[in-house]
């Protein structure tokens, strides 16, 4: 019997790294694959936690909304990332919503099974703590940025971070490898799409970036870094 490719993906994921193959095989018995088309929702904010996913392929967006419809983007998720971290912490409901921004394949498993596996195999629980700590640290950084930096710098930093985690080298420069609108950038930086548009237009004029409809290519990463760091 051929080893399932899913085992391979899990073995490389942030949550199951270093976990023995036989444990993964057991987990895989209750796991399943699920596809989400771009734009489809994986779960809504406040949904009850039933399933935990690991991204096989694709890209998803985590958002958090207020009652009156205001929304911010918490982070983007890509291959190997956990979708629905609440399952790791024993949370009852999802604190944010997750939507696919590209066609995506997720490997899902029941939250109860995962919780049980964590009690049995400390390595998984330790990985969970590590990945949550990583996300927490990222958020601390963004909070500080939002509190202390001006809009232009925030946008610059955000683009550089996105390039780092989902950049693709092309002839023109580093392209953000998923659809990213002005509105999206606004929701990541705590500003409005108008201000983002004006800022990007400015950079476009200086040849720093090359952008279009839901598309951003960083032509001169060095220049963008300069904007982000000083002046």
Could you tell me the smallest distance in angstroms from the CB atom of residue 205 to a copy of itself?
Answer: 27
CA distance 57 to 118: 24
> Does 51 interact with DNA (rule: CB under 7 A)?
no
**Should residue 37 be labelled a site residue for a copy of itself when binding is judged by CB under 8 A?**
no
Q: Which residue has the tokens 């929702």?
A: 41
Q: How far apart are the first and last CA of the chain?
A: 60
* Residue 190 near DNA by CB under 7 A: yes
Nearest residue (CB) to DNA, 200 versus 208: 200
Q: Which of residues 114-173 bind a copy of itself (CB under 8 A)?
A: 118-123, 125-126, 128-130, 132-137, 139-144, 146-148
The reply to whether 74 sits near a copy of itself by the rule CB under 8 A is: yes
**CA dist., res. 120 & res. 48, Å (int):** 24
CA–CA dist 50, 30 (Å, integer): 13
CB-based contact 84:94 (threshold 8 Å): yes
**In the complex with DNA, which residue's Cβ is closer, 104 or 191?**
191
Lookup: tokens for 125: 């629980």
Q: Cβ 173 to a copy of itself, closest distance in Å?
A: 27
| Helical axes 21-29 vs 5-12, angle rounded to 10° | 120
Q: How does strand 174-176 pair with strand 167-169?
A: antiparallel
Cα(178)–Cα(7) distance, rounded to whole angstroms? 26
Binding segment (CB under 7 A) for DNA, from list 24-32, 43-51, 146-154, 165-173: 146-154
Residues that bind a copy of itself (CB under 8 A): 64, 66, 70, 72, 74, 85-86, 88-91, 95-96, 118-123, 125-126, 128-130, 132-137, 139-144, 146-148, 187, 189-190
Residues that bind DNA (CB under 7 A): 150-152, 181-183, 190-195, 197-198, 200-201, 204, 211-214
């Amino acid at each position: 019997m051929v080893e399932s490719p899913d085992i391979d993906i899990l073995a490389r994921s942030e949550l199951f790294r270093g976990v023995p193959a036989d444990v993964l095989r057991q987990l895989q018995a209750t796991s399943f694959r699920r596809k989400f088309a771009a734009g489809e929702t994986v779960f809504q904010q406040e949904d009850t936690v039933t399933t935990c996913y690991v991204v096989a392929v694709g890209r998803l967006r985590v958002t958090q909304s207020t009652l009156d419809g205001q929304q911010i983007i918490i982070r983007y998720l890509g291959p190997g990332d956990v979708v629905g971290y609440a399952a790791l912490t024993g949370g009852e409901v999802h604190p944010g919503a997750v939507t696919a921004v590209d066609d995506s394949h997720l490997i899902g498993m029941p939250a109860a099974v995962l919780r049980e596996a964590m009690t049995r195999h400390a390595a998984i629980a330790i990985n969970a703590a590590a990945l949550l700590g990583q996300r927490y640290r990222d958020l601390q950084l963004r909070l500080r940025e939002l509190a202390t930096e001006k809009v232009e710098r925030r946008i610059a930093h955000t683009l550089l971070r996105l390039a780092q985690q989902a950049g693709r080298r092309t002839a023109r420069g580093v392209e953000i490898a998923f659809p990213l609108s002005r509105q999206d950038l606004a929701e990541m930086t705590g500003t409005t799409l108008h201000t983002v548009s004006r800022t990007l237009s400015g950079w476009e004029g200086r040849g720093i970036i090359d952008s279009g409809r839901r598309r951003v290519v960083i032509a001169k990463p060095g220049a963008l870094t300069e904007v982000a760091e000083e002046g």
